[in-house]
Structures are given as structure tokens and as C-alpha cells.
Amino acid sequence: MITFSVTHKAHSCNARVGVLHTAHGVIDTPAFMPVGSLGTVKGIECQELQECGFGLMLTNAYHVYLRPGHRLIEDQGGLHRFTGWSGAILTDSGGFQLVSLAEFCQVTDQGVIFKSHLDGSRHELTPELCVEIQIALGSDIMMALDECPPHPCSSGQAQQAVRRTTQWARRCLLASQASGQALFGIVQGALDVDLRRQAARELGEMGFDGYALGGLSLGEDKATMFELVEAVVAEVPENRPRYLMGVGLPEDLFEGVVRGVDLFDCVIPSRHGRTGWLFTSTGRVLIKNAQYARDEGPIDPLCGCPVCHRYSRAYLRHLFVSNEMLGSRLNTLHNLWYYGHLMADLRSAIRENRFLEFRAQFHEQRKECPRYIEYAAMMGVSDDQPGGLLSRGKGKGA
């Protein structure tokens, strides 16, 4: 099982620092989980993940159930021994992947019938089997099976998904009681704020070890997403970790933390690394651009990662345009280092009661970056207006 305690709270917003104790280490929150869907973050060794500052990794139960199979992994001693990862592991139940990847998917009150996207084989995933798979994997934190409705969806679809997710959550709790592993419930509800609140209250009464916000970052605007985050955070128990699934960009991490989110995961640092999008202290660098062909400087002069210490932008661009696998690996390593150390800086700022100032500085450094301007537009605010992005979140409801 896990234990969680809040050690520091920001004075003027909902940001907080916590300590999450697991059987495989202690994780300081807010924390970001790199995504290793198949038991690995593409191209990165376990030791490198730890050096980037991560103690908690996400693996997807749907993917490893299909290949190589949860029983094989169980026979190999569980995910930790199988992968060589000594830190904590959270396994996602696969509800989102069932909708997005399966060639055929039929959702009933009993569970989900689907065909594998790998070989077309037929499977039926019930809440009980979902827990059985994750018990076999030996994850520190299991996720309850949920129904993630498509975006956009009708009111009826959203209500049905909440009803099923709540029903399945109860079944997952019963199936997990003897496991000794933690179980998080997932709050669904599409873009209906009242439905989200209702779902959060119902799950909160069940006594999960933590609460996740699912079904977001699927195409809705950022302002709407964070309005829903605020609503859910206000309803779930304060003494349990809050997990915003599938999010996101560095800007998203700040906006989630200011609203009281403790855990995040996303493929962005690794996937963007493979596509040449690198994160820096002043915004993004698209390493394929011709302007870097003769640039002898590091990706980010303020970064302490091994890549920035050793390699120039010119060399990294050469690797990328030559389609060399080392380029993808180095880019990913830099991005993960950036995320790991950004989260450490966030925690320090909260502990030292300067989080809002740190957040404002972060945005100020990016005001000239096209991606930042696009982000501010998605949030529906601008910095030269009262309540703009730099001042947003200072009130109680932020």
C-alpha cells in the first residue's frame, strides 16, 4: 500500500507539496511520471530515468497484457524485476487505449469486449480482470477500469460513462482488497462540470488511495480543462493524491499545480524528443531548423543535463536530419532531465512560499516564444488584462 501526506501548502493558491511513500521508494509531489507504456521509456535506461530525478514511472496494463502478457511478467517476478526499474510503478488500466487503439470495441455494463490492435485477437476486459492483471504485474499503484467517452460526446454518453465508471470502480475495489497494492479511482464526466463534481463525490465516498482526473486533454480548450480540474479538486478528499492523467506541457504542469494537482503523466517529453522538439528555460527549440546547422552552443545554456554539457545544437541537428537513433535518444534524455528538474524547482518554490512568483517568472521568460503566445490564447487570457495568465490563480479557487 501507499501513504500520502501534505507537508507544505502555498499561502495564496492551492499548490502543495506532499510525500508519497510506496514499497519502492518515496516520491515527493508534485511529481511527473514519464510514460513507459511497454515497460520502457523509449530509448532510455532505468538508471538514466533516476538520474533525471524520477522515482515513479507509468506503464500501461493494456499494452503489457497484450504483449508479452501479464502471466509471463508475473512468472518473471513482476514488472520491477522484469524491467530492471527499482522505483515505483503506476499502471494505467487501459480504458483510454481500449477506445483509441482497439480495432473493435464494445462497452457493456459487464466490461469491454475488444479486438487487439496487434493481431485482432478477441478479449473481454472486466473490472475484475483489470485488477487481476495489475496484481500480477506487481505495480505500486493500480488504476480502476474506467470508460473514457469520446470527445466531443453527448450528454447521454457522458452520463453513461460516469455511471459505468462508478459501477466498475466499486467492483475494482472489491477485487483489489487482498492485493496490498494501492488503487486509484478515475473521475470522468466529459466537459460537464456538474457531472464531474458528482462523479468525484461518489468516488470520494468509496475511500480510494488516490483520485485521477481522466478524459481530459482530448481536444477541449485549456481554460475549460482547468475549470474542470478546479471543480474536481474541490470535491475529492484533501488527504489523498490527485492525479491529472495525460497532461502535459510545462505550462500545463504549472496550471495544474496551482490548482492543487499532485501527479502528472504524459508522453510529451519523450515523443517530442523523437520529433526534435526540445524544452528549454526560454521556450522550445525545434532542432531540425536550419538556424542551428552551425550553432555550437548547447540546447539550453542553463541546463545541467549530460546532453547540454557534451553536445552542440549543430551536432544534434545533424543527428536528427540524418535520422540517427542517437539523436532521438539524446533529445529524449534532455527533455526528461528538463521535466524532472522543473518539478524539483516547483516543489522548492512551494516550500519557500514563492510559487506564484516562480510561475510568473516562468511565463515571463516565454513571452516571446510562439508556443507561449498560442498557449495564452488557448487559455482565453492575456497578460495585459486583469486576471491575465501571469496573475491567474491567486485566489482561493485557483
Tell me which H or E stretch contains 307.
helix 306-310
Residues 6+ positions from 64 with CB-CB distance below 8 Å: 38, 39, 70, 73, 79, 137
**Known active-site residue 109:** no
Out of 252, 265, 300, 383, which one is annotated catalytic?
Answer: 265
Distance of alpha carbon 212 from alpha carbon 233, whole angstroms: 10
Helix, strand or coil for residue 243?
A: strand
236 phi and psi, to 5 degrees? Answer: -85, 155
Residues 6+ positions from 264 with CB-CB distance below 8 Å: 30, 31, 32, 33, 243, 244, 247, 248, 252, 253, 256
Residue with grid cell 513571452, as numbered in its chain: 367
Out of 75, 92, 119, 194, which one is annotated catalytic?
Answer: 92
Helix, strand or coil for residue 109?
A: coil
Residues 6+ positions from 156 with CB-CB distance below 8 Å: none
Distance of alpha carbon 26 from alpha carbon 43, whole angstroms: 25
Amino acid type, 59 = T
**Known active-site residue 92:** yes
Q: Is 28 exposed, middle or buried (0-12, 13-18, 19+ CB in 10 A)?
A: middle
Q: What are the distances in angstroms from CA 379 to CA 38, 360, 375?
A: 33, 15, 6
Amino acid type, 217 = S
Instruction: Tally Cβ neighbours within 10 Å of residue 122.
Output: 9
Helix, strand or coil for residue 319?
A: helix
Positions marked active-site: 92, 265
